[in-house]
Amino acid sequence: MFDRTLPARRRDAREQATLPATPSLSERFSPPKPRGAMLEVEFAQLSDVGKVRPHNEDYLGWVDPVTPERTRSHGWLFALADGVGGQLQGEVASQTAVESICAGFRDAAREEPLTSLLQKLVQRANASVFEAALSAGTHGAGMATTLVVCGLRYDRAVVAHVGDSRCYLIRKGAATILTRDHTLASEHARMGLLSQEEAAEADTRHILSRSLGGGLFVGVDIGDHQVLAGDVLLLCSDGLHGAVSATEIAEVAGAGDDLQAAARKLVELANERDGSDNVSAQLIRIRGVERVGMYRGRPYKLR
Q: Which string of DSSP letters, residue by residue, matches 85-147?
A: TTSTTHHHHHHHHHHHHHHHHHTPPTT--HHHHHHHHHHHHHHHHHHHHHHTGGGGTT--B-E
User: How sure is the predictor about 87, in pLDDT bands with cuts at 50, 70 and 90?
Assistant: low
Burial (CB count within 10 angstroms: exposed 0-12, middle 13-18, buried 19+), residue 136: middle
Query: What residue numbers bound the domain in which 106 lies?
Result: 2-301
What confidence score (pLDDT) does residue 190 get? Answer: 64
- Per residue in 177-221, pLDDT (tens digit) is 999 998 865 565 566 666 666 556 656 566 788 999 988 899 999
Tell me the average pLDDT across 131-144. 78
Question: Which of 3-12, 32-41, 60-69, 262-271 has the least mean pLDDT?
Answer: 3-12
d(CA 258, CA 207): 35
| β-pairing verdict for 166-171 and 156-162 | unpaired
Q: Which CATH number does the domain housing residue 137 bear?
A: 3.60.40.10
Other CB atoms within a 10 A radius of the CB of residue 276 amount to 18
pTM: predicted TM-score of the whole model, two decimal places: 0.84
Cα 139 to Cα 16: distance, rounded to the nearest angstrom: 13
Q: Which of 79-88, 96-105, 156-165 has the lowest mean pLDDT?
A: 79-88
Instruction: Write the single-letter amino acid at 134.
Output: L
Question: How far apart, in whole angstroms, are the C-alpha atoms of residue 303 and residue 299?
Answer: 13
pLDDT at 133 over 60: yes
The burial class, CB within 10 Å (0-12 / 13-18 / 19+), for 251 is middle
pLDDT of residue 243 exceeding 90: yes
Mean pLDDT of 34-48: 81
Number of domains in the chain: 1
Q: Quick one: pLDDT at residue 38?
A: 78
Please give the mean pLDDT across all residues of the chain: 83
Tell me the Cα Rg of the chain.
19
pLDDT higher than threshold 90 for residue 56: yes
* Cα separations in angstroms, 272 against 14, 57, 130: 33, 20, 35
Per DSSP bridges, beta strands 174-177 and 279-288 are unpaired
Burial category of 142 from C-beta neighbours within 10 Å (exposed 0-12, middle 13-18, buried 19 and up): middle
Residue 141 has pLDDT above 90, yes or no: no
Q: Which residues, 6 or more positions from 66, have their beta carbon under 8 angstroms from its beta carbon?
A: none
Phi-psi region of 111 (alpha: psi -120 to 50; beta: other; left: phi over 0): left
pLDDT digits (tens, 9 = 90+) for 276-302: 999 999 999 999 998 776 655 566 666
Q: Lowest mean pLDDT of 159-163, 243-247, 297-301, name the range.
A: 297-301
pLDDT of residue 254: 87
Alpha-carbon distance of 74 to 86, in angstroms, equals: 37
**Measuring CA to CA, which residue among 182, 232, 240 is closest to residue 212?**
182
